[in-house]
Chain A
């Protein structure tokens, strides 16, 4: 049931899918460079391809004038500086402008205690592309869909389309959207590159690691291994991805073995190549060539022809907190707001994320009508809902360390602040 609904939503709300309908014809599958469209629906979307000669003309040559206190190779391995910069060796007891107690940095110091195997296991939470750190487990798209509605939808929107300023988890079909990554908003009316998990991220391990250790935002580390597999399956599903040639459909069950077979559409979309034993050397080579990222020239006279082309602010952003001011005045004294409610601190820490505004579907604190509607159920029911969860709100709002008494205080505060 929900699958057909989902398809409908994706087709109508994710504008990128619509945009691409006109563009897919000009893509050949395979070599993206050859198929690179420059115009979609009459609007230019990319910069014209450039020869290396043109690029060299625009990027200035690097002219390092190395002084005695600076080297372009490390002392400790004789290799070029990994970031394309310089190295400051200790010369006559100084590193650059700083005096150094050289003896202090030649000694090995035996400090601390050995990290036990258990301690390392407890803290080693990262998950690497080769599966290091990825535990056994499984979860289905269907389970993931339920979990998503319960714990994720409030922020990430229906079917991962994003809500407010929270990130979207999909921009549509990952394989199609990956092709938009060369789009540039050269004109205000054209669409830019569509970056989301499916279209952009190089490895799926990052998704698993991030959900497990960083999500839900207000209650990280609260999801079980199987729940993370289920949510990963659901996110692969809304990105319309395949694993080992098999479409991740609404009946798909994901486990560790299948997870390690995920090949992201944009796995080759990143430079320099940092994998393998040459990884660091590849980065070194890349950043020592500014053609890869730009550089200027120190021209002093008549650096270009004609009058300067000035671009001014089109739509200024001015919504600053606090507003800009350079006045030297005493701050306005705020009227005494009275004693602070015992529930306010907990509210600020654990509940405001969802209840500060109505953008996530939760009744906003201060919204009299919304809270009047909530209170029709009776305060006991409201307290029970806070404890057990309701609609998109997980039990205790995900703040599992709160006691029942604290929850009641919070509800009392929220009700009182919404009268």
Chain B
């Protein structure tokens, strides 16, 4: 027996001693011995030979990953003090936000980083992968020096510290945040052979904060107040106008995201979440709310975030991200090249609506000519990512695979052709036409659009 196996034996002894509630003295004695030999072992980790190999002869059909011991099973891993605020396995380094220069507004401090939705599971996006867009870089704000001012058409204008803000009763809600330019580069045809860039301008998280309506109860809101300006304290001082009806419904000021504090790039210490609406309205690094009887006409609701139609008129204050969906498996990044003919495979995707809750998702295998209803899967929540799934027997024949979602407000995703009829192709924002993947005989997946 080599030393490594000795350590393993010691370890087992220690664990069983603890479980048997051995005497304290005995326990410490054993642990000390164990630590000593662990140190010794760590310095002698030589090429591993294992007893099992001496007894079981590996055959060619045996997986060497099973037949050969791995170094990580024969020596210590990191102790608990390593990465006290954890991080992903280094093997997952390709699961990351990505950017491209053409989507910046000149430099990488006014740019976007898109979410790898091909790698997402369920309906929650990890905070480190959450879609990011900023207009003047990510600031590092001292929460002790940060204030929220609420003023304008209220009887009692106030200033809150972050501690005071967190004393209001909080709520936690799962909502997607979607840039209204998600899919926007593809109004005139597909451009990205990548789901991350074609549809990854969005993410979904559980947000914790306060309803703005709960703060307003004590402030004496003037009945003339129709609009609320939300403004950030970062370099861009970005502002957006929100109608009072949304403020009195479900708009929140949040400090928590998926159980932890907002990340700096998501607005630390606080941001607004306007559920279901253009994520640009969800102002980060929030410092000020001002109520007024007239809209403010901020830059990001005039020069940008307005959707120019073929009539020459532009839709302004285009609030909700309309019902939408995309198949995430397969997709260009996760193709079907490994499938065998006759194999059963799950087709899976994401559906979402800023106007309500997903009610149906239909899937087409022939470019939108005929449709079958898919199953919804997991939690189905208002203004949140919703998973759908349908089983498919892989035939190896080329196909055009599309999804089409409906919501409880009665809206259905339009075909690309009909969306163009309604608004033209120059709108930049709010594109929710049916998304299609073309799958060839080899199982390769490409981004296409159907104009039938």
Q: Tell which of B21-29, B74-82, B286-294, B344-352 binds the partner.
A: B286-294
Chain B CB within 8 A of A197 CB = yes
With A126-B229, A328-B94 as known contacts, state yes or no: A201 contacts B302, CB within 8 Å: yes
A105 interface neighbour in B96, B211, B419, Cβ under 8 Å: B211
Contact assessment for B106 and A155 in the assembled complex, using a CB-CB cutoff below 8 Å:
yes
Q: Tell which of B30-38, B51-59, B238-246 binds the partner.
A: B238-246
User: CB within 8 Å of A: which of B407-431?
Assistant: 407-415, 417-426, 430
Chain A CB within 8 A of B439 CB = no
With A97-B379, A283-B243 as known contacts, state yes or no: A294 contacts B418, CB within 8 Å: yes
Q: Tell which of A6-14, A246-254, A305-313 binds the partner.
A: A305-313
Chain A residues contacting B430 (CB-CB under 8 Å) are 293
Bound-state CA distance A46–B424 (Å) is 9
Chain A residues contacting B420 (CB-CB under 8 Å) are 47
Bound-state CA distance A304–B380 (Å) is 31
With A110-B218, A193-B308, A314-B189 as known contacts, state yes or no: A126 contacts B446, CB within 8 Å: no
Contact assessment for B320 and A287 in the assembled complex, using a CB-CB cutoff below 8 Å:
yes
Chain A residues contacting B311 (CB-CB under 8 Å) are 182
Bound-state CA distance A157–B190 (Å) is 31
Residue of B nearest to A270 (CB): B316
User: CB within 8 Å of A: which of B47-89?
Assistant: none
B101 interface neighbour in A298, A307, A313, A319, Cβ under 8 Å: A319
Bound-state CA distance A81–B239 (Å) is 23
Chain B residues contacting A83 (CB-CB under 8 Å) are 246, 276-277, 319-320, 354-355
A109 interface neighbour in B119, B214, B231, B334, Cβ under 8 Å: B214
B422 interface neighbour in A109, A293, A317, Cβ under 8 Å: A293
Chain B residues contacting A192 (CB-CB under 8 Å) are 426
Chain B CB within 8 A of A234 CB = no
Contact assessment for B369 and A302 in the assembled complex, using a CB-CB cutoff below 8 Å:
yes
Residue of A nearest to B366 (CB): A308
Q: Tell which of B1-9, B12-20, B157-165, B258-266 binds the partner.
A: B157-165
Chain A CB within 8 A of B395 CB = no
A67 → chain B, closest Cβ, in Å? 7
Chain A residues contacting B394 (CB-CB under 8 Å) are none
Contact assessment for A303 and B354 in the assembled complex, using a CB-CB cutoff below 8 Å:
no
Chain B CB within 8 A of A339 CB = no
Contact assessment for A321 and B100 in the assembled complex, using a CB-CB cutoff below 8 Å:
yes
**Contact residues on A (Cβ < 8 Å of other chain), bracket:** 35 or more
Contact assessment for A318 and B193 in the assembled complex, using a CB-CB cutoff below 8 Å:
yes
Chain A residues contacting B190 (CB-CB under 8 Å) are 311-313
Chain B CB within 8 A of A84 CB = yes
B421 interface neighbour in A58, A66, A319, Cβ under 8 Å: A58
Chain A residues contacting B211 (CB-CB under 8 Å) are 105
Chain A residues contacting B411 (CB-CB under 8 Å) are 62, 84, 290, 295-296
Chain B residues contacting A59 (CB-CB under 8 Å) are 414, 418, 421-422
Chain A CB within 8 A of B397 CB = no
Chain A CB within 8 A of B368 CB = yes
Q: Tell which of A161-169, A377-385, A408-416 binds the partner.
A: A161-169
Chain A residues contacting B297 (CB-CB under 8 Å) are 128-129, 202-203, 205-206
Contact assessment for A64 and B100 in the assembled complex, using a CB-CB cutoff below 8 Å:
no
Chain A CB within 8 A of B449 CB = yes
Chain A residues contacting B250 (CB-CB under 8 Å) are 88
Bound-state CA distance A192–B259 (Å) is 45
Contact assessment for B193 and A313 in the assembled complex, using a CB-CB cutoff below 8 Å:
yes
Chain A CB within 8 A of B215 CB = yes
Residue of B nearest to A314 (CB): B189
Chain A CB within 8 A of B434 CB = yes
Chain A residues contacting B243 (CB-CB under 8 Å) are 82, 280, 283
Chain A residues contacting B314 (CB-CB under 8 Å) are 181, 200, 269-271
Chain B CB within 8 A of A299 CB = yes
User: CB within 8 Å of A: which of B90-105?
Assistant: 90-94, 96, 98-102, 104-105
Residue of A nearest to B226 (CB): A280
B310 interface neighbour in A47, A125, A206, Cβ under 8 Å: A47
Chain A CB within 8 A of B271 CB = no
Contact assessment for A296 and B107 in the assembled complex, using a CB-CB cutoff below 8 Å:
no
Bound-state CA distance A295–B424 (Å) is 13
Contact assessment for A96 and B169 in the assembled complex, using a CB-CB cutoff below 8 Å:
no
A167, A287, A324, A327 pick with most chain B CB within 10 angstroms: A324
Chain B CB within 8 A of A135 CB = no
Contact assessment for B413 and A296 in the assembled complex, using a CB-CB cutoff below 8 Å:
yes
Chain B CB within 8 A of A79 CB = yes
User: CB within 8 Å of B: which of A74-100?
Assistant: 74, 76-77, 79, 81-88, 96-98, 100
Contact assessment for B448 and A330 in the assembled complex, using a CB-CB cutoff below 8 Å:
no
With A60-B412, A201-B302, A320-B194 as known contacts, state yes or no: A84 contacts B320, CB within 8 Å: yes
A220 interface neighbour in B169, B173, B236, B451, Cβ under 8 Å: B236
Bound-state CA distance A269–B422 (Å) is 17
Chain B CB within 8 A of A300 CB = yes
Interface string of A28-64 (1 = CB under 8 A from B): 0000100010000000001100100011001110111
Contact assessment for A271 and B158 in the assembled complex, using a CB-CB cutoff below 8 Å:
no
Residue of B nearest to A292 (CB): B315
With A108-B218, A165-B101, A166-B105 as known contacts, state yes or no: A214 contacts B236, CB within 8 Å: yes
Contact assessment for A82 and B245 in the assembled complex, using a CB-CB cutoff below 8 Å:
yes
Bound-state CA distance A39–B276 (Å) is 39
Chain A residues contacting B276 (CB-CB under 8 Å) are 83, 85
Chain B residues contacting A245 (CB-CB under 8 Å) are none
Chain B residues contacting A336 (CB-CB under 8 Å) are none
Contact assessment for A295 and B412 in the assembled complex, using a CB-CB cutoff below 8 Å:
yes
User: CB within 8 Å of B: which of A149-198?
Assistant: 155, 164-167, 181-186, 192-193, 195, 197
Bound-state CA distance A112–B164 (Å) is 6
User: CB within 8 Å of A: which of B218-270?
Assistant: 218, 226-227, 229, 231, 235-239, 243-246, 248-250
User: CB within 8 Å of A: which of B295-323?
Assistant: 295-299, 302-303, 306-308, 310-320, 322
Bound-state CA distance A70–B297 (Å) is 32
A317 interface neighbour in B167, B191, B406, Cβ under 8 Å: B191
Contact assessment for A331 and B106 in the assembled complex, using a CB-CB cutoff below 8 Å:
no
Bound-state CA distance A63–B173 (Å) is 27
Chain A residues contacting B354 (CB-CB under 8 Å) are 83, 85
Bound-state CA distance A196–B307 (Å) is 14
Known: A85-B356, A96-B381, A324-B333. 15 other contacts (CB 8 A): A36-B312, A62-B409, A64-B409, A66-B408, A185-B188, A201-B302, A202-B297, A303-B371, A307-B452, A310-B367, A313-B448, A319-B102, A321-B98, A329-B94, A356-B107
Which 10 A-B residue pairings sit nearest by Cβ, starting from the closest? A85-B355, A308-B367, A294-B422, A64-B410, A182-B312, A104-B169, A166-B106, A296-B414, A296-B412, A58-B421
A-B contact pairs, 7 of them (CB 8 A): A104-B169, A114-B159, A124-B151, A126-B298, A185-B425, A277-B226, A320-B98
